[in-house]
């Protein structure tokens, strides 16, 4: 295994485990998931040397099931769509090193895609951080229903949105590892305590499944992406699924609602990094506010500061009603809209990302708001807390495209069924980039 | 004058509000874990015991219980806050719109549950030290905040309120007066300007802070000076309040819902008999004077039920009440103990009262005995064993009569005082270990026989 070489080329890891034993299955872990034997940085310089005293529940549950390779790179705190906000070197797309691998679970997707050995990545999504890089790197990416997987040990971005999920080249491996990590956890009161199916057995006929295709999800999508996604939908049609056009009219409000809620929560979560107990430390001088400001001023990168300021603004007196509380109401409406669709459809199918993986130079040209807009297709289902699966559905100009499947809460079984059907009838997922 | 209170009561629970750390007093930074220290990656999990107590308090304060309530994050940067936000309740507290009767109704605006921040220790007093110590034992201890309307018109009303509140908390078993603290933010306005005195600890200091603040504002107003809208600090050593900061705006805490914690459905809780009702019943059932009934009820449920148990067996509620309220209570307070912390049982107390009634011990001895008895947990029987026997007592009487013939003669001639002298002599001889009435009777009998 040429892990070191892979890492040199792609910056997939923030921390690589020194010695890795041979195993049948390997794991990589996104660096905002706590591991007691490896530093956990959340992609931020603020925590460059943070060694958690505990394992996240998901880590506890995979220990002994395979070998852990290391901690994968990410936009700091999960703040990013392209992986360009990582404080430990910018991760690169293994299909074209000049392009973004997607974010924020960048390293997870790179390893899942480029490492020849059988491996599963533990990743995390708040607004699209699993689907986006899975799509850009040609792997399956499952974001489970909110609460299905315990968040104990996950360094928070936005607690009402954060979900730990999985990525792998082979969907069967995701099913296997899902079986390990699901199940209620008393350390996370938002975790789901109910019964769950054996995901490795969720496959079979898709004939008769009703698949909704929301027209709003094709509006600002590049033609090449649209084409491949339509090919995928045609495949479902040919396998007997009933395809029907549906409408998600609130889609245009999802982005604003998402960013307001996510950043409001994030700005409280990151408050603890002030140099007193957590984060960098500096010389204690002046009063505590001066000291805190100094630490926060030097420990957070620009995008983190932008998001903290935006989130703080949205919840301040005078703005709270107009932004934060309104965003919560919009979120409720968006959930209702998805629920309404799922009363008529089993699944929703759409493009995962509106574009092909962009070049780093192109990203530099974008305004922050244009970058945020790239999440337009993923923030809706993330706000609704429904499960979603990005499926490799072909290449355009040598770059991967993802088909996004969404299902009602706790209907991961349907995502596996349709994902496995696509897997049987295509070969894109088998491709491994040459590095 | 208008005074309003924000009272913070530390709840008597086994563990903290969102983790399993004990709430018992301990060496600094011993009762801590990643959760109450706010480590990155932790999740809080709510303590049902604390939530239940908060519901009981809201109900006992006649609040309307909301159908659903939830926790919020109150953000501000301060070194006593591990996460730099406090988990508290904002939009939907446990209860709203209640009242407490202290002869007049004091309206309760809201009752909510929150976590205590860490304790800051300023080794040389605020402003007097170049460093601050942080004790995280307190971080995460459950607090109930009780916010009143500004319905108090003088400090006496505040005192009555706290007495009532404390007794209610005791009856709900929500508060341990020896381990838990009560802290208070006091809002006082004599004129139009509201001044807040922050974070005064303990009932004694709350009263002092209010008295001082009233004097200060009165003086300013008399001199025609302006009372500034500000937040002040009460110094326990000097008894003065000093300005912390001027307050032009309401603090902005940027509250959001805490998404880590599930919504709490309003629960219908059972609460025990509260002090007001108990006082009525004691007056009715036992014929106690209201003052005594109050004194017993306000001591808490264990004290009150102890009283009832003793009366059930011994009768004579007035006698029982007197002994419990004067000598027993004095001794408990002296030892910083609560009745429930001793091994004293009602049965034994009955035995004790009976021994006195049967003149096996003197009242004077009983008063001394109770001082040793309560903290030591010694059995009443053991004390009784130490009393002189009938035989020993008769011998002492005979001896005294023999040695003090003059006094005996005086008594016979009608000098009543001489008998008191003889009683004193007998008691001295036996070290007070007998009942006075009994000694008197024996002396009289013996002299008459001669």
Residue B236 in any domain: the answer is yes
Alpha helices in B155-274 (DSSP H): 155-171, 203-222
| Residue B45 with chain A: CB contacts under 8 Å | 186-189
Least confident of A53-57, A167-171, B271-275, B400-404: B400-404
A104 is catalytic: yes
Phi (first) and psi of residue B300, to 5 degrees: 115, 170
Do residue B247 and residue B305 come from a single domain? no
Give residue-wise pLDDT tens across range B364-387.
778 888 888 888 878 877 777 777
For residues B396 and A387, the model is more confident at: A387
CB proximity B120 to A under 8 Å: no
Q: How far is A233 from chain B (nearest CA, A)?
A: 36
**Separation between Cα atoms, residue A392 and residue A389, nearest integer Å:** 10
Q: How far is B92 from chain A (nearest CA, A)?
A: 14
Assign B126 a pLDDT band (cuts: 50, 70, 90).
Answer: low
**Separation between Cα atoms, residue A259 and residue A272, nearest integer Å:** 21
**What pLDDT sits at residue B248?**
60
Residue B185 in any domain: the answer is no
CA B442 to chain centre: 46
Compute chain B's Rg from CA coordinates. 29
Select which of A28, A105, A129, A390 is catalytic: A129
Do residue B288 and residue B352 come from a single domain? yes
Least confident of A379-388, B129-138, B314-323, B404-413: B404-413
Do residue B151 and residue B13 come from a single domain? yes
Of B42, B257, B262, which has the smallest distance from its Cβ to A189's Cβ?
Answer: B262
Give residue-wise pLDDT tens across range B150-199.
999 999 999 999 999 999 999 999 999 888 899 999 999 998 889 999 99
For residues B350-355, average pLDDT: 90
Nearest CA in chain B to A53: B34
Give residue-wise pLDDT tens across range B239-256.
999 998 876 666 799 999
Of B34, B45, B82, which has the smallest distance from its Cβ to A53's Cβ?
Answer: B34
**What pLDDT sits at residue B340?**
87
Interface contact B259-A265, CB threshold 8 A: yes
Residue B154 in any domain: the answer is yes
Do residue B407 and residue B279 come from a single domain? no
Please spell the DSSP secondary structure of A1-68, one letter per residue: --HHHHHHHH--EEEE-S-----SSEEEEETTB-BTTB---TT-GGGTT---SS--HHHHHHTTSSEE
DSSP secondary-structure letter at B328?
I
Cα dihedral angle (A141, A146, A147, A151), rounded to 10 degrees?
60
Identify whether the C-beta of residue A240 lies closer than 8 Å to the C-beta of residue A208.
Answer: yes
Q: How far is A380 from chain B (nearest CA, A)?
A: 18
Q: Is A243 exposed, middle or buried (0-12, 13-18, 19+ CB in 10 A)?
A: middle
Phi (first) and psi of residue B330, to 5 degrees: -60, -45
Select which of A30, A71, A172, A228 is catalytic: A30
**Separation between Cα atoms, residue B142 and residue A60, nearest integer Å:** 30
Interface contact B82-A277, CB threshold 8 A: yes
Task: Provide the number of structural domains found in chain B.
Answer: 4
Residue B262 in any domain: the answer is no
A125 is catalytic: no
Q: Which residues of A touch B (CB under 8 A)?
A: 34, 40, 42, 47, 50, 52-54, 56, 151-156, 158-160, 186-190, 264-265, 267-268, 271-274, 276-278, 288-289, 292, 312, 315-317, 320, 324, 328
Q: Is B410 exposed, middle or buried (0-12, 13-18, 19+ CB in 10 A)?
A: middle
CA B358 to chain centre: 35
pTM assigned to the model:
0.92
Query: Which SS3 state, helix, strand or coil, does residue A381 take?
Result: helix
Residue B198 in any domain: the answer is yes
Share of chain B above pLDDT 90, in %: 67
Do residue B112 and residue B170 come from a single domain? yes
Phi (first) and psi of residue B42, to 5 degrees: -80, 160
**Separation between Cα atoms, residue A91 and residue A16, nearest integer Å:** 14
| Residue A42 with chain B: CB contacts under 8 Å | 40
Q: How far is A17 from chain B (nearest CA, A)?
A: 21
All structural domains of chain A, each given as residue ranges with its CATH number in brackets, are 3-209+349-430 (3.90.1300.10)
Nearest CA in chain B to A260: B256
Select which of A76, A100, A104, A390 is catalytic: A104
**What pLDDT sits at residue B424?**
87
Identify whether the C-beta of residue B284 lies closer than 8 Å to the C-beta of residue B233.
Answer: no
> Residue A59: CA atoms inside 13 Å, Cβ hemisphere, count?
26
Mean pLDDT, chain B, as a whole number? 91
**Residues 137 to 176 of B: which have CB under 8 A from any A CB?**
none
Residue B267 in any domain: the answer is no
**What pLDDT sits at residue B31?**
97
Residue B265 in any domain: the answer is no
Q: What angle do CA B56, B59, B62 make, to 5 degrees?
A: 150
Q: Looking at beta carbons, which pairs linking B156-159 to residues 24 or more positions away fall under 8 Å? A: B157/B3, B157/B102, B157/B104, B157/B106, B158/B3, B158/B5, B158/B206, B158/B207, B158/B210, B159/B203, B159/B207
Indicate the residue among B180, B203, B229 that finishes a domain. Answer: B180
> For chain B, how are helix, strand and coil distributed in percent, rounded to 5?
40, 20, 40
**Separation between Cα atoms, residue B168 and residue A358, nearest integer Å:** 66
**Separation between Cα atoms, residue A168 and residue A283, nearest integer Å:** 45
| Number of cross-chain residue pairs from A and B with Cβ atoms under 8 Å apart | 102
**What pLDDT sits at residue A1?**
55
Do residue B16 and residue B131 come from a single domain? yes
Q: How far is B82 from chain A (nearest CA, A)?
A: 6
Measured between alpha carbons, how far is residue A82 from residues A353, A354, A400 in Å?
Answer: 11, 13, 15
Q: How far is B304 from chain A (nearest CA, A)?
A: 40
Do residue B92 and residue B198 come from a single domain? no
Q: Is residue B17 scored above 80 in pLDDT?
A: yes
Residue B268 in any domain: the answer is no
Read off the CATH number of the domain in which B440 is found.
Answer: 1.10.10.410
Share of chain B above pLDDT 70, in %: 98
What is the dihedral sign for C-alpha A135, A140, A145, A151? negative
Give residue-wise pLDDT tens across range B20-34.
999 999 999 999 999
A257 is catalytic: no
DSSP secondary-structure letter at B393?
H
Residues (pLDDT < 70) of chain A are 1
| Residue B262 with chain A: CB contacts under 8 Å | 189-190
Q: Is residue B131 scored above 70 in pLDDT?
A: yes
**Separation between Cα atoms, residue A303 and residue A313, nearest integer Å:** 15
Helix (H) or strand (E) holding B109: strand B105-115
Residue of B20, B32, B41, B85 for testing the chain A interface, max A β-carbons within 10 Å: B41
| Residue A290 with chain B: CB contacts under 8 Å | none
Do residue B296 and residue B316 come from a single domain? yes
ipTM tops the 0.90 cut: yes
Alpha helices in A191-344 (DSSP H): 223-238, 251-269, 288-299, 302-314, 326-342
- Domain housing B402: 390-449
CB proximity B127 to A under 8 Å: no
Interface contact A317-B254, CB threshold 8 A: yes
> Residue B43: CA atoms inside 13 Å, Cβ hemisphere, count?
29
Do residue B207 and residue B164 come from a single domain? no
Nearest to A148 by CA among A183, A113, A118: A183
CB proximity B263 to A under 8 Å: no
Nearest CA in chain B to A293: B77
For residues B31 and B355, the model is more confident at: B31
Q: What angle do CA A363, A369, A372 make, to 5 degrees?
A: 75
**Residues 57 to 76 of B: which have CB under 8 A from any A CB?**
73, 75
Do residue B361 and residue B301 come from a single domain? yes
Do residue B313 and residue B426 come from a single domain? no
CB proximity B255 to A under 8 Å: yes
Residue of A151, A268, A315 for testing the chain B interface, max B β-carbons within 10 Å: A268
Do residue B301 and residue B379 come from a single domain? yes
**What pLDDT sits at residue B361?**
80
């Amino acid at each position: 295994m040429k892990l070191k070489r892979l890492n040199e080329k792609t910056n997939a890891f923030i921390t690589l485990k020194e010695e890795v034993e041979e195993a049948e299955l390997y794991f990589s872990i996104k660096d905002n998931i706590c591991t007691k034997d490896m530093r956990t940085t959340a992609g931020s310089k603020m925590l460059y040397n943070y060694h958690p005293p505990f394992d996240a529940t998901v880590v506890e549950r995979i220990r002994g099931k395979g070998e852990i390779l290391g901690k994968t790179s990410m936009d700091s705190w999960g703040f990013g769509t392209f992986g360009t906000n990582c404080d430990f070197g910018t991760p690169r797309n293994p299909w074209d090193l000049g392009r973004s691998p997607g974010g924020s679970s960048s390293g997870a997707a790179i390893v899942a895609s480029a490492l020849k050995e059988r491996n599963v990545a533990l990743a995390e999504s708040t607004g699209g951080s699993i689907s986006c890089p899975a799509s850009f790197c040609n792997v399956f990416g499952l974001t489970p229903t909110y609460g299905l997987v315990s968040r104990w040990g996950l360094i928070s971005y936005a607690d009402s949105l954060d979900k730990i999920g999985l990525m792998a080249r082979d969907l069967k491996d995701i099913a296997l590892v899902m079986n390990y990590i699901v199940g209620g956890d008393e350390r996370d009161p938002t975790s789901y305590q109910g019964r769950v199916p054996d995901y490795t057995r969720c496959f079979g006929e898709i004939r008769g499944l009703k698949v909704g295709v929301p027209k709003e999800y094709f509006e600002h999508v590049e033609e090449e992406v649209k084409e491949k996604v339509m090919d995928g939908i045609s495949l479902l049609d040919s396998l007997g699924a009933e395809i029907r056009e549906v409408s998600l009219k609130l889609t245009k409000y999802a982005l604003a609602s998402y960013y307001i809620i996510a950043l409001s929560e994030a700005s409280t979560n990151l408050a603890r990094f002030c140099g007193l107990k957590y984060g960098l430390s500096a010389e204690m001088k002046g009063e505590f506010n001066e000291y805190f400001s100094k630490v926060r001023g030097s420990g957070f990168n620009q995008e983190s500061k932008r998001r903290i300021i935006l989130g703080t603004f949205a919840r301040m007196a005078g703005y709270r009603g107009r932004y934060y509380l309104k965003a919560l109401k919009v979120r409720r409406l968006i959930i209702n809209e998805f629920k309404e669709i799922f009363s008529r459809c089993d699944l929703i199918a759409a493009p995962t990302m509106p574009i092909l993986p962009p070049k780093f130079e192109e990203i530099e040209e974008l305004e922050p708001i244009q970058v945020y807009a790239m999440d337009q297709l993923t923030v809706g289902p993330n706000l609704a807390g429904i499960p979603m699966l990005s499926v490799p559905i072909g290449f355009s100009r040598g770059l991967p495209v993802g088909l996004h499947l969404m299902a009602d809460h706790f209907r991961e079984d349907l995502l596996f069924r349709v994902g496995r059907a696509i897997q049987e009838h295509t070969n894109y997922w088998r491709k491994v980039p040459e590095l | 004058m208008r005074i309003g209170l924000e009272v913070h009561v530390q709840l008597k629970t086994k563990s903290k509000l969102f983790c399993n750390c004990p709430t018992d007093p301990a060496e600094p930074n011993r009762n801590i874990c990643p959760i109450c220290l706010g480590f990155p990656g932790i999740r809080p999990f709510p303590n049902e015991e604390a939530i239940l107590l908060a519901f009981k308090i809201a109900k006992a304060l006649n609040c309307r219980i909301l159908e659903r309530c939830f926790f919020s994050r109150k953000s501000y940067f301060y070194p006593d806050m591990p996460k730099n936000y406090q988990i508290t309740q904002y939009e939907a507290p446990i209860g709203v719109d209640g009242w407490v009767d202290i002869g007049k109704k004091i309206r309760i605006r809201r009752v909510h549950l929150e976590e205590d921040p860490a304790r800051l220790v300023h080794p040389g007093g605020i402003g007097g030290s170049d460093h601050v110590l942080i004790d995280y034992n307190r971080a995460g201890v459950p607090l109930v905040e009780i916010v009143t309307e500004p319905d108090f018109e003088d400090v006496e009303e505040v005192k009555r309120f706290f007495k009532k509140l404390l007794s209610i908390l005791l009856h709900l078993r929500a508060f341990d007066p020896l381990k838990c603290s009560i802290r208070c933010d006091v809002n006082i306005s004599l004129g139009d300007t509201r001044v807040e005195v922050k974070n005064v600890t303990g009932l004694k200091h709350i009263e002092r802070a209010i008295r001082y603040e009233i004097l200060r504002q009165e003086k300013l107003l008399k001199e025609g000076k302006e009372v500034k809208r500000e937040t002040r600090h009460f110094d326990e050593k000097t008894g003065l309040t000093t300005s912390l900061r001027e307050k032009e705006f309401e603090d902005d805490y940027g509250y959001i819902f805490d998404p880590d914690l599930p919504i709490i459905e309003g629960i219908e809780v059972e609460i025990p008999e509260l002090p007001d009702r108990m006082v009525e019943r004691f007056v009715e059932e036992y014929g106690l004077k209201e003052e005594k009934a109050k004194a017993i009820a306000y001591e808490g449920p264990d004290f009150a039920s102890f009283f009832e148990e003793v009366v059930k067996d011994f009768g004579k509620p007035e006698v029982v009440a007197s002994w419990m309220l004067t000598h027993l209570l004095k001794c408990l307070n002296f030892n910083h103990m609560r009745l429930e912390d001793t091994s004293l049982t009602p049965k034994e107390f009955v035995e004790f009262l009976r021994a006195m009634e049967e003149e096996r011990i003197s009242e004077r001895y009983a008063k001394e005995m109770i001082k040793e008895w309560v903290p030591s947990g010694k059995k009443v029987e053991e004390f009784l064993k130490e009393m002189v026997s009938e035989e020993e007592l008769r011998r002492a009487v005979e001896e005294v009569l023999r040695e003090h013939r003059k006094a005996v003669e005086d008594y016979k001639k009608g000098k009543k005082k001489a008998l008191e002298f003889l009683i004193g002599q007998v008691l001295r001889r036996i070290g007070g270990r007998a009942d006075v009435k009994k000694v008197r009777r024996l002396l009289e009998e013996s002299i008459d026989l001669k």
